[in-house]
Copies of this chain bind each other. A is one copy, B any other.
């Protein structure tokens, strides 16, 4: 099995590239029992989560990852916890926003899906 830091890095690269590119494809990373808490709003299920993410009011967005940490999230299953901090650059804004995001990834058929997703902007 690949090292969890490598898995976390590959996941995060893929996630934010997809977010910046074809955001609708993020839906495939979630399942019906997946949860997203976005700026305090709790949303459940791949369809509702995809609707939320696709509906965010910006057209261009880039997540610049500053720190990435991963840990196994279960003694039993090869699931992992991924914590990201970084900068969110929206549209043509000159002021990047600091963000924190946490994912729990669950193995499924040789890949992973997102069970938990918590996103927050950090206002200084």
Residues of A within 8 A of B (CB): 33, 35, 37, 40, 42, 66-67, 69, 71-75, 81, 83, 85, 98, 100, 102, 104, 115-116, 118, 120, 122-124
Bound Cα distance A115, B35 (Å): 20
Chain B residues whose C-beta falls within 8 Å of the C-beta of A33 in the assembled complex: 75
* Chain B residues near A81 (CB-CB < 8 A): 81, 102, 104, 116, 118
| Copy count, this protein chain | 2
A115 smallest CB distance to B (angstroms)? 8
Describe A's contact surface by its main secondary structure.
strand
Output the least CB separation between A38 and chain B (Å). Answer: 9
Contact of A100 among B71, B74, B83, B115 (CB under 8 A): B83
Q: A100-B83, A102-B81, A116-B81 are in contact. Are A122 and B66 (CB under 8 A)?
A: yes
Given contacts A75-B33, A81-B116, A81-B118, A98 and B124 within 8 Å (CB-CB): yes
Distance between A105 CB and nearest chain B CB, rounded to angstroms: 12
